Amino acid sequence: MTDVFILDFDGGNQLRKKISEACCIRWHIESDCHFSSIGSFGIVGKRMAERLSRSSIYVVSDNDCLILGENFVQQGLDIMARHPDYGLLAATSICDGYFANGYPREGLAEVVPRHAVGGVAFVRKGILTEFKPCDVTQVDETICHEMKLKGYKTGSMPGLRFNHIGAGYSITNPVWWMRVPE
pLDDT tens digits, residue range 101-112?
A: 445 555 578 999
Beta-sheet pairing, 120-124 with 57-62: antiparallel
Q: For residue 152, with 0-12 CB atoms within 10 Å meaning exposed, 13-18 middle and 19 or more buried, which class applies?
A: middle
CATH number of the 2-178 domain:
3.90.550.10
What count of residues does the chain have?
Answer: 182
From the centroid of its chain, how far is CA 32? 18
Query: How many H helices and E strands in the chain?
Result: 4, 8
- Answer yes or no: are the C-beta atoms of 177 and 168 closer than 8 Å: yes
Residue 84 CB neighbours (<10 A): 9
Give the predicted TM-score (pTM) of the model: 0.87
pLDDT digits (tens, 9 = 90+) for 95-146: 755 444 445 555 578 999 998 888 899 999 999 888 788 887 788 889 999 9
pLDDT digits (tens, 9 = 90+) for 42-71: 888 999 999 999 999 999 999 989 999 999
